[in-house]
Amino acid sequence: MKIHITPKMFQELIKKSYNLDLVYLLKMIDEQYDVQPLYEDSMKIAALYQSLIRKGLITKDEEKLTTVGKSLLEYVKNSEDNKIVKRKPITTDFEEWWKNYPTTDTWSLDRHKFKGTRALRRGKEECRRKFKAIIEEGDYTAQQLTKALKYEVDIKVQRSIKERKNIMSFMQGSITYLNQRTFEAFIELMDQEKDNPPESASGPTDI
pLDDT tens digit string along 116-165?
A: 999 999 999 999 999 988 988 888 999 999 999 999 999 999 999 999 99
**Residue 73 contacts residue 65 (beta carbons within 8 Å):** yes
Average pLDDT, the chain: 86
The alpha-helical segments, DSSP class H, found in 61-182 are 67-77, 91-100, 124-137, 142-163, 174-179
Provide CB contacts within 8 A for 13, sequence distance 6+.
Answer: 5, 19, 20, 23, 84
Q: Return the number of other C-beta atoms located less than 10 Å from residue 179's C-beta.
A: 14
Amino acid 184: pLDDT: 95
pTM of the model: 0.61
pLDDT per residue over 23-79, tens digit each? 999 999 999 889 989 988 999 999 999 989 888 888 877 778 888 888 888 888 876
CA distance 109 to 169: 15
CA distance 82 to 142: 28
Amino acid 91: pLDDT: 67
